[in-house]
A = this chain, B = another copy of it.
Amino acid sequence: MAPRPVRPARITMPVSGSSPTLHRRARRAPRRFLERSLRGSGQVMFMNNPYTGLLNFVALGWGAWAGGTTWTVVLGAALGVLVATGAAQALRVERAARDAGLYGFNGLLVGAGIPTFLAPTPLMWAVLVFACAVSAGVTRALAELLRPWQVPGLTFPFVLTTWLVLLAADPLPGLATAALPQAGLAAPAVAASVAFGLADWVRAVLASVAQVFFVDDAVSGALFLLALALQSRRAAVLGAAGALLAVAAALALGAERAPVVHGLWGYSAVLTAVAVGGVFLPPGGRTLALCAIATLFTVLVQGATLTLAGTLGVPALTFPFVLGTWLVLLARGRSESA
């Protein structure tokens, strides 16, 4: 995901330059294109590292093999990052951002999200390719829109593009829905007493990490954490801690047990914790405190987005992460940079 190269002194992890290259002498375009795409996969979790990106696909593959997602989703993810990376090239965006994979990760998520919710017809594949290409344009438009505040677009291009496609599926039955939540008016849920053992906690935390990629599987979650640790152990620890805090908060606030175990209350918090705690702010105690507050705020926004998106019949996606992280980056204000 997108540590856009602004305020470079504040970015605490190596974003470019010092990160390993797959083929040091690879001058050939196809290899460079592949490396950019793998970095795009790594950037879903802010890692400008092709090996992280590769391991993410191993985790996706494990998820499909273990039944936590489908091979269609894995194929969509691969296609998505390739198409978006190519579209950014056609759009002639600045090369540094392309090289760092910053135009690929939203495409990967669009490509994984569409077959998670729509049935895999030929028409779906056509719309998927179109939407992944458009996501590169949305990424660029959003970068332009956010320029006055020097705040990154994060996964908002993915959220916006995927919401548009899923909302359009209702009046366009050529896009057959497979697993979309049914639209329903907001109604208070009933609190149930919940037994939640150690195994549930472990599964909920790891599934939260995996659900960033639409995978519902604990082993995949562990592999995604490992991929993070390849580049930054700090980020891996923060991601797991963010998931733990989100699971605890959701349970304390009475959330239904099943979605918690499946990681649906934690995936946005994982991203917020890594972004706020490990990527965009300087390390230190103050950052850790802000990171905890932002993670808890993300859980509240997750609940609000569930109600809002549920009324329209679409999933929440990672909008809570985007709102929570934008809030912190904007609230930080100018005082710190002065």
A191 to chain B, nearest CB (A): 4
Contact residues in B for A89 (Cβ distance below 8 Å): none
Q: Is the CB of B177 within 8 A of A188?
A: yes
User: Interface code A291-313, partner B: CB below 8 Å = 1, 0 otherwise?
Assistant: 00100110011111111100111
Main secondary structure of the interface of A (DSSP, over half): helix
Which of B92, B149, B164, B173 lies in contact with A301, CB distance below 8 A?
B164
* B335:A141 contact, CB within 8 angstroms: no
Does A190 touch B at the CB level, under 8 Å? yes
Which of the residues B173, B252, B293, B303 comes within 8 Å of A171, measured between beta carbons?
A: B303
Q: Closest approach, in angstroms, between the C-beta of A149 and any C-beta of chain B?
A: 7
A120 smallest CB distance to B (angstroms): 16
Which of B174, B252, B303, B331 is close to A191, meaning CB atoms less than 8 Å apart?
Answer: B174
Provide the A172-184 mask, 1 if CB < 8 A to any CB of B, else 0.
1111110010011
Give the interface of A toward B (CB within 8 A): 91-94, 123, 127, 130-131, 133-134, 137-138, 140-145, 148-149, 163-165, 167-177, 180, 183-191, 250, 252-256, 293, 296-297, 300-308, 311-313, 326-328, 330-331, 333-335
Chain B CB count within 10 A is highest, among A94, A144, A172, A173, for: A172
With known contacts A311-B311, A312-B307, A335-B92, A170–B186 Cβ distance under 8 A: yes
CB contacts (< 8 Å) of A256 on chain B: these are 171
Copies in the complex: 3
Contacts of A164 in B (CB 8 A): 300-301, 304
> Known: A137-B328, A252-B123. Is A169-B188 also a contact (CB below 8 A)?
yes
Asked if A307 and B313 sit within 8 Å, CB to CB, the answer is yes
Are the C-beta atoms of B300 and A168 separated by less than 8 Å? yes
B293 touches A331 (CB 8 A): no
Hey, which chain B residues are within 8 Å of A186, CB to CB? 167, 170, 183, 312-313
Contact check, A252 vs B137: say whether CB atoms are below 8 A apart: no
A243 to chain B, nearest CB (A): 17
B185 touches A185 (CB 8 A): yes
* Complex A-B, nearest 6 residue pairs according to Cβ-Cβ distance, in ascending order: A168-B303, A174-B254, A141-B330, A167-B304, A173-B191, A186-B313
Nearest CB in chain B to that of A145: its residue: B330
Nearest CB in chain B to that of A255: its residue: B172
Bound Cα distance from A64 to B222, whole angstroms? 54
A141 B331 Cβ-Cβ under 8 A? yes
14 new A-B pairs (CB below 8 Å) besides A140-B330, A172-B189?
A123-B252, A133-B293, A134-B293, A141-B327, A144-B149, A167-B304, A168-B253, A175-B253, A175-B254, A176-B188, A177-B188, A183-B311, A186-B313, A308-B312
Smallest distance from the beta carbon of A2 to chain B beta carbons, Å?
A: 16
- Among A93, A170, A173, A184, max chain B CB count under 10 A is at A170
Enumerate chain B residues within 8 angstroms of A142, measured Cβ to Cβ. 330
For A165, the closest partner residue in chain B by CB is B300
